[in-house]
A and B are shown apart, each in its own frame.
Chain A
Amino acid sequence: MIGYILRRIVSAILVLFVTSSLVFALFLFGPSDPSQALCNVNRCTDAKRAQIHQSLGLDQPFLSQYGDWLKGLFVGREISFGPGFHIDCNAPCLGVSYITKEEVTPYLMSRFPATLSIALAGFMYLALGVAIGAFAARRRGTTVDRSLVASTLVLSSIPFYIFALMSYLYIVLKWGILPDTTYVPLTENPLTWAGHMMLPWAVLAAWNCVTYARFGRGSMIDSLGEDYVRTARAKGLGEASIVVKHALRSAIVPVITIFGIDIATLLAGTIFAEKIFNIQGIGLTALAALTTGDLPVISATVIIAAGFIVVANLVVDLLYSVLDPRVRLV
């Protein structure tokens, strides 16, 4: 188990290394010139561009630049935007924004709690979906089951951004049921934090839970038909105990697996949610950087997203071995 975790951590580091190398290569060899964001479009001369290239070291060979970048990641480095304009970028340095001239790492870290808060919705839709699925599976073939399945189909056929936008417009702006959704740090006031997160959570949970309701229903129908559920019944156990301890216990495992694969979807969902609900998280930062061509910020968000997915997958795999004792992590 410990050996497995160590090996997974090593492989996670490798994944991040490869991702960051690819991002770095895209940065340099991609379609846009890194200096574009620093050079005013109307007054950009070749001389000025050459000067920017020289001060940022963009005229150096690829490997030397990559070496600098890696050095910044581990010990920090100095980034120069021209004569007399140097910025100390502390380790782990992911660069300095071309637009705000701020260090990227602390800037993104300050944005991270907001994104993480939204991502909590993941647990909500997982739990909600499984609960609805199990409820429907128990009533398989009845009107309740059919209407639940039908409504999940209807809900999932509405595009997420329309669903989120309409919810925001009606629930916050028109009816004022929930407070506006700007991010309030958890440390400042947990109640306000939760209150302001309510709508993003509800919207993400409602829209995403339908997928898990359908997976959960199928998985639950399978496990309710298993021989060991019949054994549980033959022991004389109560219905609640049969459904929860015996059927649901095994039905959640495949759903958790899908959840692990689906973490990237959650991340994409938070970008939409940040945009629509105006929450200053990593997703919104990435979107803004994309429009201004702020390459250091873009590449840093990609690496952070990759890190999030790698960690989440590791957690899900470890959880899997806890849930299913037959899974040996070797």
Chain B
Amino acid sequence: MTVTESATSPSSSAGDEPFLVVEDLSVRFPTADGLVQAVTDLSYEVELGKTLGIVGESGSGKSVSSMSVMGLHDNKRAQSSGSIRVDGDEIIGISESRMRKIRGNRVAMIFQDPLSALHPFYRVGRQIAEAYLTHHSDATRREARAKAIDMLDRVGIPQPDHRVDDFPHQFSGGMRQRAMIAMALVNDPRLLIADEPTTALDVTVQAQILDLLQDLQRDFGSAIVFITHDLGVIAEVADEILVMYAGRGVERGSCKEILTHPEMPYTWGLMSSIPDVTGDTSARLHPIPGTPPSMLAPPTGCSFHPRCTFTDHVPGDLCVTQIPDLRPGGRGLGHLKRCHIEDVDAVYESEVKSDLAWEES
């Protein structure tokens, strides 16, 4: 079952399966205070050439789940179950030495804050060359350096043959993120995980980086998992959207479908929190009341119910007692939602849509 609307996937070596398949992934961290249930029963797929946007508040499990795809959790600290298949290879329970061959090679990651994610003591070029040499053991240092210059040029760093010898602190924020991208793409990964890559950048640079990622995706044909809490960014880059709340996927579907017909009160809340620059300046934003739940003791039933203002649409105390399934909504089109409200689209049309400052024009 895939939610991609296009039937033709560019290439998939492992039969008909999409390049990345995450099935019923759960990640738990035993701590001194108890078991933290960071991710519960999460499933999604991404095909080559497509971008999946994962949205959610801090602590919703976006980053933890993508770290699982990279196999970056310490097995002594994290308990993972379920299945993650990259190009048909199972990642959960894979040996560290085999994972090391996949990591940075077939699957690469770019991080939120490029200043702290680059090593302050090594030259940018050397850090990119290191990533190349790790997976090309027969390459010489000279070749790796040439490759680094090539990649810096590719991501739009001016005078790459000079800047290759700069230290990260000599780069601007946008250039650092470009360098991070160059480092991630140096081994032609088929899957790129971008963990809030534009959050630490100012808005104009943000747009440049998003454009760059889309250009590179077109050239490299890779699959991208794009993690962010910014729906505006998601609207720009994603083919599909997965909304996460409290470690679970709560809504999933094509980008346009989710943004125009959201069917989960949490997604409505996310949308109402976006200001509209063209609208009435005296209009108030509608933040989601309350705070994300503690993952040590998640709420019973639907984990969003303590903050949900639409529980009166659900008969009885279903919201408090039973976790809704992630099931197709009323509109079909591969749109999945996790909500007890029966006619959720009608509620959206009548009660929510008019309140949205940000709306499809």
A326 and B134 within 8 A (CB): no
Which A residues from 220 to 279 make CB contacts under 8 A with B? 226-228, 230-239, 246, 249-250
B102 and A236 within 8 A (CB): yes
Give a binary string over B99-136; 1 marks a CB under 8 Å from any A CB, 0 the rest.
01111110011010100111111000000001100110
A239 CA to B131 CA in the complex, in Å?
14
- A83 close to chain B: CB less than 8 A: no
A325 CA to B126 CA in the complex, in Å?
14
A326 CA to B121 CA in the complex, in Å?
8
Instruction: Given A234-B72, A234-B103, A234-B109, check contact A326 B120 (CB 8 Å).
Output: yes
| Given A228-B116, A231-B117, A234-B111, 8 further pairs, Cβ under 8 A | A228-B120, A231-B180, A234-B70, A234-B103, A236-B100, A237-B100, A325-B167, A326-B167
A233 CA to B100 CA in the complex, in Å?
8
A250 and B134 within 8 A (CB): no
Chosen A-B contacts, 25 in total, with CB atoms closer than 8 Å, are A226-B116, A228-B117, A228-B118, A230-B117, A231-B117, A231-B118, A231-B183, A233-B103, A234-B70, A234-B103, A235-B130, A235-B134, A236-B100, A236-B103, A236-B105, A236-B135, A237-B134, A249-B121, A250-B119, A250-B121, A323-B121, A325-B120, A325-B167, A325-B169, A326-B167
CB distance from A326 to the nearest CB of B (A): 5
CB distance from B89 to the nearest CB of A (A): 14
B121 and A325 within 8 A (CB): yes
CB distance from A104 to the nearest CB of B (A): 45
A293 CA to B70 CA in the complex, in Å?
71
Q: Which residue of chain B has its CB nearest to the CB of A237?
A: B134
A234 and B120 within 8 A (CB): no
Choose from B70, B100, B119 the contact partner of A238 (Cβ within 8 Å). Answer: B100
B residues in contact with A325, CB < 8 Å: 120-121, 167, 169
A residues within 8 Å of B by Cβ? 226-228, 230-239, 246, 249-250, 323-326
Choose from B96, B101, B111, B169 the contact partner of A231 (Cβ within 8 Å). Answer: B111
B104 and A234 within 8 A (CB): yes
Give a binary string over B159-171; 1 marks a CB under 8 Å from any A CB, 0 the rest.
0000000010100
A residues in contact with B121, CB < 8 Å: 249-250, 323-325
A235 CA to B102 CA in the complex, in Å?
9
A227 and B104 within 8 A (CB): no
A residues in contact with B109, CB < 8 Å: 234
B135 and A227 within 8 A (CB): no
A235 and B120 within 8 A (CB): no
A236 CA to B187 CA in the complex, in Å?
11
CB distance from A286 to the nearest CB of B (A): 40
A228 CA to B70 CA in the complex, in Å?
15
A residues in contact with B131, CB < 8 Å: 235-236
Q: Top 3 nearest A-B pairs by Cβ distance?
A: A236-B104, A227-B116, A235-B104
A236 and B118 within 8 A (CB): no
B residues within 8 Å of A by Cβ? 70, 72, 96, 100-105, 108-109, 111, 113, 116-121, 130-131, 134-135, 167, 169, 180, 183
B residues in contact with A226, CB < 8 Å: 116
**Residue of B116, B121, B167, B183 with highest tally of chain A CB at under 10 A:** B121
CB distance from B163 to the nearest CB of A (A): 15
A204 CA to B96 CA in the complex, in Å?
40
A149 CA to B135 CA in the complex, in Å?
38
A203 CA to B83 CA in the complex, in Å?
55
CB distance from B181 to the nearest CB of A (A): 12
A324 CA to B120 CA in the complex, in Å?
8
CB distance from A250 to the nearest CB of B (A): 6
A236 CA to B105 CA in the complex, in Å?
8
A residues in contact with B100, CB < 8 Å: 236-238
A231 and B119 within 8 A (CB): yes
CB distance from B4 to the nearest CB of A (A): 26
A228 CA to B134 CA in the complex, in Å?
16
CB distance from B180 to the nearest CB of A (A): 8
Instruction: Given A235-B183, A236-B134, check contact A227 B117 (CB 8 Å).
Output: yes
Q: Which residue of chain B has its CB nearest to the CB of A325?
A: B167
A187 CA to B105 CA in the complex, in Å?
55
A233 and B72 within 8 A (CB): yes
A239 CA to B95 CA in the complex, in Å?
13
A227 CA to B131 CA in the complex, in Å?
16
A residues in contact with B183, CB < 8 Å: 231, 235
B167 and A232 within 8 A (CB): no
A118 CA to B340 CA in the complex, in Å?
77
A residues in contact with B113, CB < 8 Å: 227
CB distance from B203 to the nearest CB of A (A): 23
A residues in contact with B72, CB < 8 Å: 230, 233-234
A326 CA to B119 CA in the complex, in Å?
11
B105 and A227 within 8 A (CB): no
CB distance from B150 to the nearest CB of A (A): 18
A249 CA to B130 CA in the complex, in Å?
15
Choose from A232, A233, A234, A239 the contact partner of B119 (Cβ within 8 Å). Answer: A232
CB distance from A91 to the nearest CB of B (A): 45
B residues in contact with A230, CB < 8 Å: 72, 111, 117
B residues in contact with A324, CB < 8 Å: 120-121
Q: Which residue of chain A has its CB nearest to the CB of B112?
A: A227
A326 CA to B166 CA in the complex, in Å?
11
B120 and A236 within 8 A (CB): no
A122 CA to B317 CA in the complex, in Å?
70
A250 and B117 within 8 A (CB): no
A residues in contact with B180, CB < 8 Å: 231
B residues in contact with A237, CB < 8 Å: 100, 104, 130, 134
**Residue of B72, B102, B130 with highest tally of chain A CB at under 10 A:** B130
A228 CA to B117 CA in the complex, in Å?
4
A234 CA to B101 CA in the complex, in Å?
11
A246 and B119 within 8 A (CB): yes
A195 CA to B183 CA in the complex, in Å?
51
Q: Which residue of chain B has its CB nearest to the CB of A326?
A: B169
